[in-house]
Amino acid sequence: MTSLTASLATADQPIGFVDSGIGGLPYLRRARELLPEERFVYLADRRHFPYGVQSRDAIREIVMNAVAELVSVARPKMVVVACNTASVVSLSELRRTFSIPFVGVVPAIKPAGAAAPDGRIGVLATERTVEDPYVSDLIREFAPNSGLVLVPAGELVEIIESRLTLASPKEILDILRQSAAKLIAESVNVVVLGCTHFTHIRDELSELLRHEVPVLDSVEGVARQIVRVCGHAGRAGDAAHAAAGPKTEDLLLVTGREARREPGGAAAGDAVENYRRLAVRFNLKLLAQEPVK
């Protein structure tokens, strides 16, 4: 047992998060606001980033292994799979395999259907999510009279993952312009962020859409589900608890070579610095995990 494993194993059971990178951090922040008395441990599986380019079978195996690693080192009371594709592909098997509850993430199609029941719904997502029939299934269930406009933007994931805190506001806006132009050209009535990474640039996208088109994510809905699963609904939003903040340190664990300061070129160096800054921004202690052999 490593010193990290030993220290976590003796602590109160945290709420665990798993993603290939930083996509789930806004979800963690909102959950922490609602449950400030809880501890949180976030596992960024940089070793296998990005999940969206993998096959379904590969994603399922990767996520199972990532959760097994998180369970081994942190003994979480529950796990949030903070990735749309990973949730769809792996949640059923995770629930069969582990004896703890899981909360998944899916695109906010249901509220989008309520906002534009007869309109056009734009979904900004990775190629894997765009290709997956589950988005079309959600449309059929929750927005059967709405038109669907799928806009693949997988290249944005890498930029957000490696340069979110390093890029200037102009650079972020320039990167988003092409996707925003496609959504405007398609005359969408509402936009759904179909990748958790995109929640980091929600405000910038809204600016490019001139604040005329609602941009929806699933942060609030997922956070409320975390509260329900934890059984702390009575404490959600309690001002006294929120003011006090978390009682103990929350952790950001990062797997893979790019979690450490090793030679690896500009991209790897950007990712390392981006993670360092994000740990400060989200008030997390950054720890690098050695790859499991």
Non-local CB neighbours of 272 within 8 Å, separated by 6+ positions: 258, 259, 260, 261
Contact between 204 and 194 (Cβ < 8 Å)? no
Q: How far apart are CA 97 and CA 126, in angstroms?
A: 28
Structure tokens at 143: 């927005």
> Which pair of structure tokens corresponds to residue 274?
């981006």
Amino acid at 250: D
Q: Which member of 31, 73, 195, 279 is catalytic? A: 195
From 74, 83, 201, 271, the catalytic residue: 83
Nearest to 253 by CA among 38, 43, 7: 43
* Per-residue H/E/C for 212-268: CCCEECCHHHHHHHHHHHHCCHHHCCCHHHHHHCCCCCCEEEEECHHHCCCCCHHHH
Q: Tell me if residue 230 is catalytic.
A: no
Tell me how long the chain is. 293
102-135: burial string, b at 16+ Cβ within 10 Å, e else: bbbbbbbbbbbbebbeebbbbbbbbebbbebebb
195 is catalytic: yes
Query: Which residue is associated with the tokens 């734009």?
Result: 122
3-state SS track over 77-106? CEEEECCHHHHHHHHHHHHHHCCCCEECCC
Does a cis peptide bond (omega within 30 degrees of 0) precede residue 246?
Answer: no
**Cβ contacts of residue 70 below 8 Å, gap of 6+?**
16, 18, 41, 43, 76, 79, 253
Q: Are 23 and 51 a contacting pair, CB within 8 Å?
A: no
Question: Would you please indicate which residues are annotated as catalytic (active-site) residues?
Answer: 83, 195
